[in-house]
Amino acid sequence: MPKAPRAKPPQKQNDPDLAFVGGVVIDPEKLISERARCVDVSGIRRAFQLGASLENPIDLSIGQPDFGVPEPLVRAAVDAIEQGRNGYTLTGGAEDLRASVAAHLRRNVDWTIGGGQSDLLITSGTSGALLLAFMALCEQGCEAIVPDPYFVVYPALGPMTGPKIVLCDTYGDFRMTAERVEPLITERTRVVLLNTPANPTGVVLSDSEISDLVDLCADRGVMLVSDEIYDLFTFSDGCGAAGRCPSPARFTKDMLLIRGFGKTYGCTGWRLGYAAGPPWLIEQMAKFQQYSFVCAPSMSQAGVVGAFDVDMSDIVERFERRRNLVRETFEDVTNISDSRGAFYALVEVPPSLGMSGTEFCDLAVKHDVVIIPGGVFSERDTHVRISFACEDEQLAKGLRVLRGLME
């Protein structure tokens, strides 16, 4: 019996919601996962698009360092490529980089990292480390507490890995303290995610505030995850008793420490970070890395082996001076976050203007200045984020424009 002719699909070539593969209609609505539907495109990309539309933008939006990668790191990465170190490394990372990170953590937070692969994992950026951590710790039905305002990745970790994201409202002083976190912890809480120095506020918690959070998480049996991508960019007024970025790692090893190289050394595209913590957790994260990232980029790993020997103090001091300029520009005009680290300050749009953060950013674009609405980083749209990771002259020019728009 001859086969019935295949029915031709309805011809809706002008329907933007349908795709056509070999003449067959593919309805994306039937194929896209609910997980994907719950994740929005990052609002930061809108700022990129706005900046691209301007002929000579003053870009105070992006957290891309304006300094080049230190020459020793460039040379090491190039040498690795030329010497053929382009293949896979161990899942946990190349041995020479693991040894370098272990030595740094011994000096910096007094941690002793074992010689095996169980308590340290080299990752594809800090965002990669966060994803692996949440995959290892979270699932449907559990909860994770994150600050509001937040780094844009944090809310997306919910639909991507399962937990309900519980926002800790830090408005006022933008400090994620134990007092604010404690009422949010339930029997379903698995993770408290701390970010210090913080993006988008630049706020750095004190040693005592961090110690209280460590005690709270230990008492309630939840994992404290500390995202410290900006640890080296802690300014003189933000350093703790150790003269460095305050960190829960100086109070306990029963937490997950996440740090990276991209922001510190200007190599954000190298996608390189690391996670250190309890072996039982690192081992689970490594399993997921085996089946996803496989390993961090090998030439990037080779490039940063000597990173901790590079003196970045002059650049950190330059960023602190820029922070001072941002403070001086707005302190008598509006409220501004107490930025003591990272590349940012969160500035309130004066209520007298009757504008949201998004509306003020649109106004700024008309004057060739690109900044990001606070609503990209928060449930509220009352502020704007200003990045001072740009040349001094551009920063000063942009700040003059923004102050003028606020007065």
pLDDT, position 19: 63
Q: How far apart are CA 301 and CA 9, in angstroms?
A: 51
Whether residue 188 has pLDDT greater than 70: yes
Contact 35, 160 (CB under 8 A): yes
Q: Residue for token digits 């802690």? A: 234
Q: Say if residue 119's pLDDT is above 80.
A: yes
Contact 193, 378 (CB under 8 A): no
Give the pLDDT mean for 208-228: 98
What's the pLDDT band for 118 if we cut at 50, 70, 90? confident
Question: Using one digit for the tens of pLDDT, what is the confidence trace for 339-362?
Answer: 999 999 999 999 999 999 999 999
pTM of the model: 0.92
Condensed to tens digits (0 to 9), the pLDDT of residues 247-305 reads 999 999 999 999 999 999 999 999 999 999 999 999 999 999 999 999 999 999 999 99
Sign of CA pseudo-dihedral 344, 146, 44, 401: negative
Which pLDDT tens digit goes with each residue over 320-340? 999 999 999 999 999 999 999
Q: Do 146 and 155 touch, CB atoms closer than 8 A?
A: yes
| Residue in this structure with the two tokens 């005690």, named with its chain if needed | 215
DSSP state of 198: -
Rounded Cα distance between 405 and 400, Å, is 9
pLDDT one-digit tens code per residue, 59-113: 999 899 999 999 999 999 999 999 999 999 999 999 999 999 999 999 999 999 8
Domains present along the chain, CATH in parentheses: 44-68+312-406 (3.90.1150.10), 71-309 (3.40.640.10)
Share of residues in the chain with pLDDT > 90 (%): 85
Instruction: For residue 341, give the 3-state DSSP assignment.
Output: strand
Confidence of residue 117 (pLDDT cuts 50, 70, 90): low
Q: Evaluate whether 244 touches 230 at the Cβ level (below 8 Å).
A: no
What is the number of residues in the chain?
407
Partners of 385 in the beta sheet?
Answer: 346, 372
Give the DSSP letter string of 326-364.
HHHHHTTTS-B----BTTEEEEEPPGGG---HHHHHHHH
DSSP state of 287: H
Residue 51 in this model has a pLDDT that exceeds 50: yes
